[in-house]
Amino acid sequence: MPVVEVRNLRKTYGSKVAVADVSFSVERGEIFGILGPNGAGKTTTVECLEGLRTPDAGTLSVLGLDPRRDTAELRQILGVQLQESQLPDRLKVREALDLYASFYRSPADQGPLVDLLGLTDRLDTPYKKLSGGQKQRLSIALALIGGPEVAVLDELTTGLDPQARRDTWQLIENVRDSGVTVLLVTHFMEEAERLCDRIAVIDAGSVVAVDTPAGLVAGVDAEQRIRFRPSAPLDDELLAALPEVRSVQRQGQYVQVTGTGNVLHAVTALLARRRIVAEELRVEQTSLDDAFVALTGRKLA
């Protein structure tokens, strides 16, 4: 059985439809991503799963429990890192862990947990004095202190600098490797592509696709984008005449060629015949961002 199952979920607030029709399932041991723009219905979906909101329609199950009926039992096996959270400034890391551990019948051993999350030398540090990355690590620790089988992490790395974001990604992979199934809500393409085994793309309150990152990308025409600065004048029409080339664009001194098949060889061979060097050459493959645009008709900010 799937660890998490959502079928035809709908949630409205008055006349506003937050979630129109969402269905997906999560298998044990995977990192499952919910990807979409702000306002797409991602957080409302997981809040219904967590028992924090009551859906208007649909069925939900987490490890066989109904979040509406089995809320107390669910909270013993489900760890949650909220999109926004705040602790008292003077509360120490150790005190926060002890407080949250008291909520559970069988809390996790704090020693290995703080080691895993790199908080061992911050146990006596007040919350106010933690860096942004350390606060995120603590929020993950508090989500895991109950020894959950499933962890919901909502907009995990929003506001972190690039290095702290990558450090946090490694931590989440370690959490999954420890046996926890992770449901990750994000609007960062790179985060979803790096971490997720499968992704549900949500737009305007509905699921538009569920697949692996590679599967989503494979559903889009396989294009390459070649960007370079020609060392000598180059007529764009010569490039556009190549059968592999779909479009040619100028960006200041740079030329961007989009094409399929063996377009890179075709372009470089043309340049070589004309003794033109492709300086600052950069080649990009079809990405998850391209797949999102193809599915929704717009970029994800």
Rounded to two decimals, what is the model's pTM? Answer: 0.80
Identify the residue with better confidence: 82 or 49: 49
Contact assessment for residue 28 and residue 185, using Cβ atoms and an 8 Å cutoff: no
> If pLDDT is split at 50, 70 and 90, which confidence band does 175 have?
confident
Q: Pull the structure tokens for residue 181.
A: 């199934």
Q: Which residue has the tokens 């370690």?
A: 174
Q: What is the dihedral of CA 40, 43, 47, 48, to 10 degrees?
A: 20
Q: CB-based contacts of 56: which residues, under 8 Å, 6+ apart?
A: 10, 11, 12
User: What's the pLDDT at 66?
Assistant: 94
Identify the residue with better confidence: 204 or 218: 204
Q: For residues 234-252, give the mean pLDDT.
A: 94
User: What's the pLDDT at 26?
Assistant: 96
* Domains recognised in the chain with CATH numbers: 4-218 (3.40.50.300), 223-285 (3.30.70)
Contact assessment for residue 193 and residue 205, using Cβ atoms and an 8 Å cutoff: no
Total residue count of the chain as it appears in this document: 301
Q: For residues 91-103, give the mean pLDDT.
A: 95
Instruction: Give the tens place of pLDDT for each residue, 114-154.
Output: 888 889 999 999 999 998 888 888 988 999 999 899 999 98
User: What's the pLDDT at 158?
Assistant: 75
> If pLDDT is split at 50, 70 and 90, which confidence band does 300 have?
low
| Phi, psi values for residue 110, rounded to 5° | -65, -30
**Does residue 280 register a pLDDT over 80?**
yes
User: What's the pLDDT at 223?
Assistant: 80
Instruction: Give the tens place of pLDDT for each residue, 144-158.
Output: 999 899 999 988 887
- Count of CB atoms within 10 A of residue 129's CB? 12
Using CB atoms within 10 A of its CB, is residue 96 exposed (0-12), middle (13-18) or buried (19+)?
buried
3-state secondary structure of 242: coil
Q: Pull the structure tokens for residue 200.
A: 């549900």
**Does residue 178 register a pLDDT over 90?**
no
| Rounded Cα–Cα distance for residues 153 and 173 (Å) | 13
Instruction: Give the tens place of pLDDT for each residue, 13-36.
Output: 999 999 999 999 999 999 999 998
**Does residue 71 register a pLDDT over 80?**
yes
| Rounded Cα–Cα distance for residues 257 and 259 (Å) | 7
Secondary structure percentages of the chain, helix, strand, coil, to 5: 35, 30, 35
User: What's the pLDDT at 40?
Assistant: 87
User: What's the pLDDT at 33?
Assistant: 95
3-state secondary structure of 174: helix
224 to 211, 214, 257, 278: CA distances (angstroms): 22, 16, 8, 16
**Does residue 287 register a pLDDT over 90?**
no
Q: Pull the structure tokens for residue 295.
A: 């599915």
User: What's the pLDDT at 101?
Assistant: 94
Instruction: Give the tens place of pLDDT for each residue, 180-210.
Output: 999 999 888 889 999 999 999 998 899 999 9
Q: Which residue has the tokens 């041991």?
A: 29
Which of 65-69, 218-222, 249-253, 272-276 shows the lowest per-residue confidence on average (mean pLDDT)?
218-222
